């Protein structure tokens, strides 16, 4: 899969995930959802990281998110949003010429980039 194909896939998948019933929708769009503050997300992220990594790898390999509890779903949604935004920023800045499998690209964005950059962004977010 080329970088351009990955960007097209991410945009298509993001639109689908945002509009259809997904693992996140019941938590994020329901009336009783209490969104976590940045401080709570930081506290929960480290403890949930290996489970979220596994969920992200499952999505990368199977094209579907596994069932998750509320906190894991909210954490994985934040990671998905980071991955899409980061990929679009990279595409605008310096598109890659590498060719990788879809699984490799998704694991890179959802797991490796998160560990390097997404966590930094999470910890830089002010607590309100």
- Helix/strand/coil for 93: helix
Nearest to 8 by CA among 69, 126, 16: 16
The pLDDT value recorded for residue 7 is: 94
Q: Read off the tokens for 124.
A: 């830089």
The pLDDT value recorded for residue 122 is: 67
pLDDT < 50 stretches in the chain: 29-34, 128
Helices (H), 1-128: 3-19, 25-28, 38-62, 70-93, 102-107, 113, 119-124
The pLDDT value recorded for residue 64 is: 85
Could you tell me the maximum CA-CA distance found in the chain, to the nearest angstrom? Answer: 44
């Amino acid at each position: 899969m080329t970088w351009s194909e990955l960007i097209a896939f991410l945009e298509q998948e993001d639109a689908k995930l945002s509009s259809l019933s997904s693992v996140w929708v019941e938590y994020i769009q329901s009336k009783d959802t209490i969104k976590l503050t940045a401080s709570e997300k930081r506290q929960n992220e480290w403890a949930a990281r290996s489970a979220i990594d596994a969920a992200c790898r499952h999505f990368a390999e199977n094209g579907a998110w596994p069932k998750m509890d509320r906190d894991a779903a909210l954490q994985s949604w934040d990671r998905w949003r980071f991955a899409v935004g980061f990929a679009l920023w990279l595409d605008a800045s310096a598109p890659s010429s590498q060719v990788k499998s879809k699984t490799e690209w998704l694991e890179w964005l959802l797991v490796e980039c998160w560990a390097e950059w997404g966590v930094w962004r999470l910890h830089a977010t002010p607590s309100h």
